[in-house]
Amino acid sequence: MPEKTFSKCQRKAALISGGVFHLYHDGIADGMAVFLPLWHMDFGLSLASVGLLVTCFEGAAGIFQIPAGFLGERFGERKLLVTGTLMTAIAFACMWMAGGLISLITLLIIGGVGAAVQHPLASSMISRVYNDKGRRLALGTYNFSGDIGKFSFPALAAVALNRMGWRPICTILGIFGCFLTAVLFPFLKRAHSGDKIAHTKEQQKFPFFGKWGIENSSAFAVLSSIGIIDTAVRIGVVSFLPFLFIQKGICPESAGFALSLLLIGGAAGKFICGC
């Protein structure tokens, strides 16, 4: 059975929207590291509690990626991408009300669950419409957009911290996410990108536990292991590096800029390796 062909408009909508979703979610995830020392000081948290905050967000984002993939098969990527982004945006917008560890944990878990949809569903949406020789370049562009968010959000947060506290910055980030969903949802809908997939009768019998799309299990296992190690090391470094800078006498705003330089290096490495 020949693969379905997609229009240029559908491809453009999927790539632009997927890239913007990636930029926002990765920017939120890594930009949060700028706020960790401030939460540590404002709420009198221990470093163990700070680690717990990071674990709640990243853990929720990781654990719910597989359920997000199942739900994407059933409802389509567009609805879940918008819903998840709204969850993350609203959670950050509500952080101005946070009064301590419990409220932060609750909001970060909600935000993490929302962030779980982005990687599996945005990449799936792009891969599906670029079902020919343009897929590699499209996915490379999608991945690089996340790197832009990783280094730009901490830098912008560091600049904003010179003029306002972390609470209004979190609220602004949340409002910005709500604005993005309001713009991208109709954009995707008009182009029919991220629609629900039409399954055959055999696939409908086993909607969740049918084909997983893994063609090479050994390569999949190796890449998954690399991803686990990379994520564990990167999140640990990004989360606690600002504390090391502050301990050395660097102010939180400058620590945010230093974090951005680290992430710029990572983005440059990806770009060079892709050339």
For residue 268, how many other CB atoms are within 10 A of its CB?
12
Quick: pLDDT tens for 76-100.
889 999 999 999 999 999 998 988 8
Give a yes or no: residue 203 inside a domain: no
Domain ranges, residue 187 = 8-197+216-274
Give a yes or no: residue 162 inside a domain: yes
Burial of 69 (0-12, 13-18, 19+ CB in 10 A): buried
Q: What's the Rg (C-alpha) of the chain? A: 19
For residue 273, how many other CB atoms are within 10 A of its CB?
7
Give a yes or no: residue 244 inside a domain: yes
pLDDT < 70: residue spans in the chain: 1-4, 132, 198-214, 253, 270-271, 273-275
pLDDT for 15: 92
Quick: pLDDT tens for 149-166.
888 888 888 888 888 889
The pTM for the full model equals: 0.85
At 247, phi and psi to the nearest 5?
-65, -30
The total of structural domains in the chain comes to: 1
Domain of 83: which CATH number? 1.20.1250.20
Give a yes or no: residue 255 inside a domain: yes
Give a yes or no: residue 266 inside a domain: yes
Q: In 3-state terms, what secondary structure has residue 148?
A: helix
Give a yes or no: residue 205 inside a domain: no
